[in-house]
Each structure stands twice: as C-alpha cells, then as structure tokens.
Chain A
Amino acid sequence: MPEQSYEPEGAIAGTGMGGAMDLGVSEAATLERTPGGPGGTGPAGRPRSLWSDAWRDLRRNPVFLISGLVIAFLVLISLWPSAIASGSPLKCDLAKAQDGAGPGAPFGYDGQGCNVYTRTVYGARTSVTVGVLATLGVAVAGSVLGALAGYFGGVWDSVLSRVTDIFFAIPVVLGGLVLLSVVTSKTVWPVIGFMVLLGWPQISRIARGSVITAKQNDYVQAARALGASDSRILLRHIAPNAVAPVIVVATIALGTYIALEATLSYLGVGLKPPSVSWGIDISSASPYIRNAPHALLWPSGALAVTVLAFIMLGDAVRDALDPKLR
C-alpha cells in the first residue's frame, strides 16, 4: 500500500530542500529553530500579519526601545525647549566668552559668551526638523519615483535613470552655494527643499533596484495570475520586500543631512544667525577648539547621539520586517 502523503504534524524541517543543493553554509544558517520560539507557533488564534508581528517584535527589542526613547526626548525638547532650559539662546554676554561650566550653564559658554546648554537644547528643533523632514521628503519622493520606474519600466524608467545621472553629477556644496545664495527666506524650508531636490536620486536608484529584484520573484507572478491589481502587487508584495535597503540608506542619510545643514550654515548659505542650530554652533565653535572644546563637544555630541538613534531605529525596523530573523 502506498503511504498516504500526510506529513507528521509539528515536524517542520529546517533543512532547505532545493533540488541539488546540499547543506551549505547559507542553508545551515536558515535551519529552523526549535518549534516554540516566538512568532509562529501555537494554535491558530488571531490572524496575524507582517505589520502586527513586526510591532510585537519591536516592542520587545531593547535597541528599538532605547532609540525610540532618545528620539521621543528629542521631539519633546524640540517642541518645548523652555521646559528644560531657561533663558534665551540668543542672550549672550561677551564677558563670559569661553567660560567653563557655571550656575545655569552646565555646558559652559561659547566664543560669543552664549550659554552652550541653552543653545544645544534650542538647536535640537532646527536640526531635528531639517534632518527628519529632509529625510522624509527624500525617502518619499525617491522611493515613489524609483518604485514606479522599476515596476513599470519602459520609457519612464529610461528618462528617470538619465535624470538621476544628471543629479548625481551636481556637487552638493557647490549646488547649495549657487541655489541657496539667491534665497532670502530665513526659515528652514529652502534648506530642506534643497536637500530633497539633490537627495532623492540616491534613494530612487536604490528603490528602483530593489523593486526590480523583488519584481522578478515568482510570488509577484502568482499574485498577477490571481488577478491582483498593480497597486496591490506594489503595496502588498513588492514594497515590504524592497523597503529594507531604503530604510537603511535613509536613516544613514538623516545624519548626513543634519551635517550638511551645518556645512551650508557654516558657508553662510544655510540657516542664518538668529536661527539656532547644532550646525551653526559646531561651525562657530570650531575655530576655538583649543581654548573652549566644550563649546564644540556638546552640540557635536548631541548630533552624534541623534544620528545614532535614528540609525538604530532604522536597523530595528528593518529587522522586524524580516520574518526570517524572528
């Protein structure tokens, strides 16, 4: 009697069984952990999805919790800087220039005699706003354009590829000097707009590449054979599988945007003083690095912690969206 072809329950094998592949290193790495591990066992309770599973995962991830706390704190002090810093960041007393820590000024005073602590707290608003909004703008514009070009291909893809080539050829700092020198607005918007304008091609190229890779998978064909619409295929099948590299690059770019704002401000085309930002402080403190290193260290430290927090957050989100790592 031939065997009935049921497989024993609970026996989920880990060894891949792709045709001729034998146990190689990559396969050994995907071996199934013991049943009972998080995410996947237990009787069929509530239906689960990628996003709910990812959220469950994130809530238990210390990296996510720490970076989330740091970012939440940054957002709070950007909204209400006066809650933890008294006085105005613009009130400077040249008599106290380059002084060390004193009452009401735990970080000391900078070359202009301004309170470094107050300026660092108030600077968070501009730096975080510029960094986050520029990154968001770049990520949205870049990934939408890149994904559409990668998915539909054809003439638009060719046009987009050539346009990104042109943008890549523009030197960022020189472009900033030319474009921003004609703007007179004192807000952060021209700087953000400039960053989005020059930044999107980087993300669009990455998004295009990963969409093309994801598109070639059979599950996209399977969805199409079921009659799924293009938007469903893009959103349900391609986006979750193509988003990881975009997240990684975007979070790293966030740091560079904050630094770029500093560079542009230093060159006099970014934010202009009365504006308070870490970038302005870093650049104005750098000539005095020998006499008053604290004036440079505190804003740069704040910048480093912020960038690190966003990179950690991006990393945690990327991992949570990959069920294989659960």
Chain B
Amino acid sequence: MTATTEPILEVTGLVKHYPLTQGVLFRKQVGAVKAVDGVDFTLGRGETLGIVGESGCGKSTVAKLLCSLERPTAGSILFKGEDITRLSGRALKAVRRNIQMVFQDPYTSLNPRMTVGDIVGEPYDIHPEVAPKGDRRRRVQELLDVVGLNPEYVNRYPHQFSGGQRQRIGIARGLALRPEVIVADEPVSALDVSVQAQVVNLLDRLQAEFDLSYVFIAHDLSVVRHISDRVGVMYLGRIVEIGRDAEIYDHPTHPYTQALLSAVPVPDPEAREHRERIILTGDVPSPTNIPSGCRFRTRCWKAQERCAREVPALAVPAAFRDASGPAAHDSACHFAAERQVVPAEGEHGNGPG
C-alpha cells in the first residue's frame, strides 16, 4: 500500500541485528538480537505515520536507524529517493539536517550543563551555514516562542523546567534546522496526562506550520490514533499490520492488533462492559530466538500448523483482495479476519465537548 502523497521516506527490508558476543579480548559471536528484522514502509510528505508496539518490538531501533544513529545490518532508507544508509561524512551531515528526532525522556535528552539557549542553538554551531552567527540568538528566541516557552528563558538550565517544558525545549532543538521529517520516539509517554495533551497539540500545530512529516513511535494506541494518518503495528522486529488509522483501529485483521486494541484500558466503565477482551497468554518471545514461520504464533489463538512453517507476507490478505472496503489493507496473517474490538464511534457519549 502506498502513501497518498509523494513519499519522502521509503524504507525497504530494514534489518538491524546486534551480535551477541562472548570472550573479553577475542570475541566470538554466539548469536544475535534481532531487534529489527525486515521492516518496510513509506512516509508521505506532510503525513504522520504512527508505529505502535510493545517494549522490545524494535520500534525505538527503527527510530535510531531513521536518524542514522545506528547503521542497519541490511535494507535501505530512501530520503527523497537517496539511500541514506550508505552515506558518511559531509553527505550524512547534510541529510541529518532534514531528519531530526524528538526523544522520550525529557530528563536525559537535554544536557544538564548547557543553558537552554545553548541547547536550542547548538544545531547552528554544528551547521553554521544555516544561520549567520549574529542571527542565531534571535532565531533561538523565536523557536522558544514557537514551542510556547518564554523567549527570555534562554539563560536557564534544564533542571529549572518541568517535564512538559523540557519536552518543548527538545522539540525546539529538533526544529532549529527546519527539518522535513521528525522522528518522535515516545515523545509524551514520560509526561503527566494533563501535560501530554498540551504537547500532542503542539506537535499537531507545528506539523501544519512547518510542513513536517512525522514518524510517531509510541506504545499508547490512543495517542497514536489521535495524531496519525496511517499506523503500523510492530511485533518482534516486524510490522504485522499497516494501514490508515480507521483501517487499523476499526477494522483490524491481524490477531495481534486485535489483542493489542482490546487490552487498552478505556477510561469509561460502561464502555468496558460492551467490550470484548482478548487476553493473550504468555510473554513476547526473546528477540534472540524468534519463532519460525509467523512470529506471533506462540501467543496466537488461531495458530495452526501452517503458521509454524510459512512466514506470512505483509500484504493485503487473500480473503480481502477483491474487496475494496477498509478491511483490505496490509496484514501479515495467514488467517486474517476482521474483528471489531473497539466500539464504533458514537455508541456511547463521553467524548470531549
């Protein structure tokens, strides 16, 4: 399935294995952590792609690969048609201007010994061609204003701010070079509920203002739905289902997506009573020892012999190939079937406003 607009990022066959070694001086490889094990997706210009999954599914590694913080073991990441995984030196630095990252933990993502002005202005020190020296301070203050902070705070240190404000500082730093893509790795999960909404709204507003494309990575399915145009669900290093937000949330066809959606606690005791819950047994297998065939089969209630033999491809399942409805989206399951786990909109009234 392709994005509706011209793609700005195209990821194909992305793999990242971390070797497990033994020995001190003479290391020998004894296995590998298969953090990312074959991921494909495209991101359209101005679009938000949400990636959800549980801890250890490899979503944060994908973020690092997209931002060239790690080199993939295999696969390619095309930014406007150019493969950035093979770049180094000056060419890599140029690409980095265009893909920036917002981090999860607002406490460790800002250097405690730098002032806010230095943190937000550092991108200009590293890429001096972006802003002439005399102009930098004004730009930094403008950025602080854009993210909703008092521009006079430039001389303060991170510890003088609350978590939500720190996250805004991190966002301002990410915006400094006017990137086209922002990869946000769990940007609100460390924040309090009342502050989460402020930051989500800010990200929404900035997207329109700066014409940004987002890859939004999170474990919170509700936040992801709120901000994303398309959503990919990851399990053990692979995307198991991907599609437009309504396709994934209202018409999921992969059993893992269905279980994940049904497990989300809903802040409404009455809605809960109408809701069917799928409780998965067991834990996610270790990424050093991925099950054969379909990697979800060890926890799947539908698993059959075929699932252990054949790896299901991420494509529109055969059952829906001729249909054009919302159930016809990519889903890596041999026995894909629609199952509504989230009650349709409007069945109960407790929404905002």
Contacts and interface: CB of A to CB of B under 8 A. Distances in A.
A and B touch in the complex (CB under 8 A): yes
Contact of B160 (A32, A219, A226): A32
A226 B165 contact: no
A17 B105 contact: no
B198 interface: yes
B97 interface: yes
B314 interface: no
Nearest to A214: B111
B112 A48 contact: no
A5 B171 CA distance: 14
A19 B190 contact: yes
A209 B11 CA distance: 37
Majority-rule SS of A interface residues: loop
A324 B103 contact: no
A12 B162 contact: yes
A222 B170 contact: yes
Interface in B115-141: 115, 117-118, 122-123, 126-127, 137, 141
B108 A19 contact: no
Interface string B144-167: 000011111111110111111100
Contacts of A272: none
A18 B122 CA distance: 25
Given A5-B198, A5-B201, A9-B150, A222 B165 contact: no
A323 B109 contact: no
B150 to A, nearest CB: 5
A181 interface: no
A222 B160 contact: no
B69 interface: yes
B195 interface: yes
Q: How large is the interface on A (under 10, 10 to 19, 20 to 34, 35 or more residues)?
A: 35 or more
B198 A17 contact: no
A43 B152 contact: yes
A17 B69 contact: no
B114 interface: yes
Contact of B148 (A7, A43, A222, A323): A7
B126 A47 contact: no
B177 A226 contact: yes
A158 B155 contact: no
B283 interface: no
A184 interface: no
A161 B165 CA distance: 41
Given A218-B103, A240-B113, A323-B157, A16 B202 contact: no
B25 A219 contact: no
Given A17-B192, A18-B163, A223-B122, A241 B154 contact: no
Interface string B57-98: 000000010011100000000000000000000001100110
6 contacts: A2-B201, A41-B156, A221-B69, A222-B170, A226-B177, A236-B114
8 closest cross-chain pairs (CB), A and B: A17-B163, A218-B109, A323-B157, A227-B93, A227-B96, A5-B198, A13-B162, A219-B111
Given A16-B162, A50-B115, A236-B122, 8 more contacts: A7-B149, A16-B163, A39-B157, A42-B155, A225-B101, A227-B92, A227-B96, A240-B111
Interface of B: 24-25, 64, 67-69, 92-93, 96-97, 99-101, 103-105, 107-115, 117-118, 122-123, 126-127, 137, 141, 148-157, 159-165, 170, 173, 177, 189-192, 195, 197-199, 201-202, 205
Interface of A: 2, 5-7, 9-10, 12-19, 30, 32, 39-45, 47-50, 53, 155, 158-159, 162, 217-219, 221-228, 232, 236-237, 240-241, 321-324, 326
